[in-house]
A and B are shown apart, each in its own frame.
Chain A
């Protein structure tokens, strides 16, 4: 698939069309720096002085490069697709080689970050259990009640991008018959996910991607 960019996005990138490979490499470095440390206006200013253009243009160009990478990763462009897209935008063959290198080196990291940005809910992390027998309580002195106490560890999504996701411990308990029921139900889910019906749907979706 070919990436189609918005017109203003293309315009921002057009600054690079007539630059030497060395300049493009420097811009790529700036883009990588942006990905790792965020925008650095000071660097953009000095670059704009060297190229004798407005600092704003350089800044937009860096943002455009980063956005190009993000869009490419988002649509999971293959190397060939990326190459074709770059050439269509207006870059030269030589520049395309540099940009392709940039894409293939950063692709994995960016995809990983993007996948973390999607809607996330508490996720299973671990389960610890212990078997207990309750022998007495204040209201019932002699009893033998089997209990399975569980510590369910869930990974909670972070509140903001900067924060790491946190782990939450949930203390739960159950009795043997409910434990058996629960185990059987979950196993059923697992078996269902391997059924022909589920596999066919999974297959259909992964084919659609190609």
Chain B
């Protein structure tokens, strides 16, 4: 694993710092909650008492290494090894690893969602219309399919995902074509998974 010397030294620093085990545990739990985008389990104000600067540093390092571990997809053993090398007590490293195992999946999902990608289709809605009459032409037409694709995309203004709809229409023949192409893609996916 490629962890910078500077971070390694900072981890060593918290390995033998004077924060007591209870506060350390709360900090680790909070770190995992924040990284997996859940509300913090413990109110931060109860954690700051005598040494706010130290608490802040410990908290920052815990968050950094947690993200780093998940990013590199490290195993339990590798992490234990790393923490023990960084002067963590068996107690603290066991606590960390236990929480890591519990949250690893959520953590990696959160990490996987970071980044840029085209709008992601999450749902589709349809309705079938028949045109009875139009202002310019007496014609009955139909069926016309009005389709809305719900896509989720990172929105800069709300700093999170937002759902945007893509609307379009098609006639029977075109919908048949679309369904045929999508089925082709589905078949391809299924063939890959069965192999």
**How many residues on chain B are close to A (CB under 8 Å)?**
58
Q: Dominant SS at the B interface? A: mixed
By the criterion CB–CB under 8 Å, are B140 and A192 in contact? no
> What does the 1/0 interface line of A44-71 toward B look like (CB < 8 Å)?
0000000000000000000000000000
In whole angstroms, how far apart are the Cα atoms of A76 and B149 in the complex?
36
> What does the 1/0 interface line of A102-140 toward B look like (CB < 8 Å)?
000000000100110111011110010101000001111
By the criterion CB–CB under 8 Å, are A205 and B124 in contact? no
Given contacts A140-B71, A140-B111, A141-B72, contact A178 B121 (CB under 8 A): yes
Our pick among A76, A147, A183 for the contact of B182 (Cβ within 8 Å) is A183
In whole angstroms, how far apart are the Cα atoms of A181 and B149 in the complex?
12
Interface segment out of the listed A8-16, A87-95, A168-176: A168-176
Question: Cβ of A123: which chain B residues have Cβ within 8 Å of it?
Answer: 168-170, 174
| A109 vs chain B, min Cβ distance (A) | 13
B98 at interface, CB cutoff 8 A? no
A-B contact count (CB 8 A): 176
By the criterion CB–CB under 8 Å, are B185 and A74 in contact? no
Our pick among A73, A146, A179, A202 for the contact of B186 (Cβ within 8 Å) is A179
A160 at interface, CB cutoff 8 A? no
In whole angstroms, how far apart are the Cα atoms of A117 and B139 in the complex?
13
Interface segment out of the listed B16-24, B42-50, B58-66, B130-138: B130-138
Question: Cβ of B138: which chain A residues have Cβ within 8 Å of it?
Answer: 74-76, 209
Given contacts A121-B169, A172-B149, A172-B151, contact A182 B115 (CB under 8 A): no
> What does the 1/0 interface line of B162-195 toward A look like (CB < 8 Å)?
0000111110101111110111111011001100
The 10 closest A-B pairs by CB, nearest first: A124-B170, A174-B121, A183-B182, A139-B114, A205-B140, A140-B111, A189-B126, A142-B73, A118-B134, A193-B143
Known: A127-B177, A145-B112, A186-B182. 16 other contacts (CB 8 A): A75-B138, A129-B181, A137-B112, A137-B114, A148-B189, A172-B118, A172-B166, A173-B119, A179-B121, A182-B121, A182-B124, A185-B126, A190-B172, A190-B175, A193-B128, A208-B132
> Residues of A with Cβ closer than 8 Å to B?
73-76, 111, 114-115, 117-119, 121-124, 127, 129, 131, 137-143, 145-150, 152, 154, 170-176, 178-183, 185-187, 189-190, 192-193, 198, 201-202, 205-206, 208-209
> Residues of B with Cβ closer than 8 Å to A?
70-73, 108, 111-112, 114-115, 117-126, 128, 130, 132, 134-140, 142-143, 145-147, 149, 151, 166-170, 172, 174-179, 181-186, 188-189, 192-193
